[in-house]
Amino acid sequence: MFRFKRHSEEHRYYCLPGMGRSNRRHWRQIHFWAIVFGVIVSGLFGALIYVLNR
């Protein structure tokens, strides 16, 4: 009775080039590394403030 599409993302229509699955994967990877870099930089900055105020 109920039909579920297994790959609904594959049948999505995009108006502009570069909006497919590979582009989403690319931006997800950039987002991940931006968060990792932000955590590292904020940790180093916090450690610097801690050492200077000690």
Mean pLDDT of 1-9: 60
pLDDT-based confidence at 6, cuts 50/70/90?
low
Identify the pLDDT of residue 21. Answer: 72
Identify the pLDDT of residue 3. Answer: 63
Identify the pLDDT of residue 24. Answer: 80
| CA terminus-to-terminus distance, the chain | 68
d(CA 17, CA 14): 7
**pLDDT tens for residues 10-27?**
666 666 666 677 788 888
- The domain limits of the chain are 9-53
